[in-house]
Structure 1
Amino acid sequence: MTREDVFKRVNGVFQEVFDDESIVVADTTNANDIEDWDSLEHINLVVAIEKEFNIKFEMAEVGKMKNVGEMVDVILTRIS
């Protein structure tokens, strides 16, 4: 799976979690860029990403992810 493929699927998860089909994430997108992205939605987002890609993040990985690009990089590492 390419980085672009992962990115498209991640974008779809963001749209579902935040119930907003107009969301388009970029590498630099972070919690400050999406109004409803609070700590509770962050948990929902992580769980939804794990389900989408059939992976389980380590807590340390979740803490290190500062933006969507870093999340995609971790996903790529996990599914490789």
Structure 2
Amino acid sequence: MTETEILTSLNQVFRDVFDDDTIAITPATTAEDIEGWDSQAHVNLIVAAEVRFGIRFRTAELESLHNVGQFAELIRAKL
């Protein structure tokens, strides 16, 4: 899967989790950029991404992520 394909799929995950079809993520997107992205939404995003991509994350992998681009890179590495 390419980075573009991952970001497209991940964008849909964000839209589903936040119930907002106007969300348009970029690699630079952070929690500060999306209204409602709190700790509960963060957990929901991780679980939804695991389901969407058929992968599992370890807590240590997630702790160092600072933006959507890094999250997409982690997904790509696990695929």
TM-score w.r.t. structure 1 length?
Answer: 0.97
Moved over 6 A (4+): none
Offset, 1:35: 1.0
Percent of aligned positions that are identical: 42
Offset, 1:26: 0.5
Deviations 1:2-56 (A, max 9, x none): 1100110000000000000000000110100001000000000000000000000
Q: Report how many residues are paired.
A: 79
Corresponding residue for residue 25 of structure 1: 25
Q: Which amino acid aligns with 2:40?
A: L
Corresponding residue for residue 40 of structure 1: 40
Where 1:42 maps in the other structure, the secondary structure is: helix
TM-score w.r.t. structure 2 length?
Answer: 0.98
Q: Which runs of 5+ in 2 are unaligned?
A: none
Q: Which runs of 5+ in 1 are unaligned?
A: none
Separation in structure 1 between the aligned mates of residue 35 and residue 18 of structure 2, nearest angstrom: 9
Deviations 1:47-75 (A, max 9, x none): 00000000001111111111100000000
Corresponding residue for residue 63 of structure 2: 63
